Amino acid sequence: MNDGYSIGIVGATGAVGRELIHLLYEREFPIVNLKLLASARSKGKTITYKEHSWTVGEATPEAFDGLDIVLFSAGAGITKELGPEAARRGCVVVDNSSAFRMEPDVPLIIPEINPEAGAEHKGIIANPNCSTIVALMAIYPLHQLFGLKRFIASTYQAVSGTGAAAITELDNQVKAIMNNEPVVAEVYPHQIAFNVLPHVDVFLENGYTREEMKMQNEGRKIMGLPNMKVSCTCVRVPVYRAHSVSIQAEFEKPVDVAAAKAAIDSFPGSELCDDVENDHYPTPIDYSGKVNCGVGRIRKDTALDNGLSLWVSGDQLWKGAALNAVQIAELLHERGWVGSSVA
């Protein structure tokens, strides 16, 4: 097992990039060198974390020389261009974008669910979509118990999933409404303050958005269920941080609520938050900046045979993005998979 690694972060100046820095140090990942990279326009910026300070470099192929693991959080276009370059130079790439998720030879990993997939990496490992991760952290332990057939989901996705500009837009719109001033919508097609938008990502020919189809396509790959059916509606809500998902799932075996709760409570990365008599259930505020996803409102579904309805909240900047990527890096370290197989 390696005692320390040279780590690169591409997209270090973004929201997820900064969370990556925080989590690498807070979780005491073995780092001998950390190189922060971004676009040419961010080159030369200074980023500090506690007693550490870095000058941001430009993400170029040559910048990956000598690095062991590179965490990408810079969009699919940048990753498609630079990810294979990093792998060819001996790095293991952990990518937070959609660039390689559905490529058959690229593992798509949630460490609590399919860690063994990492053994097959060829230099690139994909991080799943944020809402997919949050949903599967609730669904997978129930699948282990009852055998999943299909599920229906509605998401409640925070604006931070869009980026810093969306957070600013929500702030500005709330202030404008409070001051009886005109509301300006630039990031989203409609006002997001005091509103919800059933529109996340682009619409496809089948009427679903690309974000909605990720729930089915990525879920099938991660869980090893190629025929699993999913219907999803993704909704942007005026919440700053942490996604929530309402789920109705149908299983092969008869379901039991007490057993379902016990399965959730014992599953690593998830925690039971389900005491409706005392108004105890997961909310985005309570699960912002938390490692675990909270699962509650577990009950027998009244429309599905062998069905359960439930609610899950999880921090999309952490478990939905940066934390899952760091956990993949930890997996690479623990299993000795760094440099074991590169493209």
Buried b (16+ CB within 10 A) or exposed e, 30-64: ebeebbbbbeeebeeeebeeeeeebebbebeeebb
Q: Are 234 and 200 in contact (CB under 8 A)?
A: yes
Tokens linked to 243: 């996604």
Distance CA 167, CA 95 (A): 23
| Of the candidates 35, 5, 9, 28, the residue with the CA atom closest to the CA atom of residue 20 | 9
Among candidate residues 22, 143, 243, 333, the one labeled active-site is 243
Task: Confirm whether 91 is a catalytic residue.
Answer: no
Q: What is the dihedral of CA 95, 98, 104, 109, to 10 degrees?
A: 50
**Residue found by looking up tokens 């809500």 in the block:** 237
Cα separation, 106 vs 27, whole angstroms: 26
> Helices in 14-114 by DSSP H: which ranges?
15-26, 76-88
Of the residues 130, 234, 273, 293, only one is catalytic, namely 130
Residues 225 and 261 sit within 8 Å (Cβ to Cβ): no
The identity of residue 316, as a single letter, is Q
Q: What are the tokens at 89? A: 């130079």
- Spatial distance between the Cα atoms of 224 and 49, rounded to a whole number of angstroms: 39
**Pairing mode of beta strands 148-157, 229-236:** parallel
DSSP E strands in 86-220: the ranges are 92-95, 124-126, 148-157
Under a CB-based contact definition with an 8 Å cutoff, are residues 310 and 281 in contact?
Answer: no
Amino acid at site 310:
L
Q: If you search the block for the tokens 């900064």, which residue do you land on?
A: 18
Tell me, yes or no, if 130 is annotated catalytic: yes
Active site residues: 130, 243
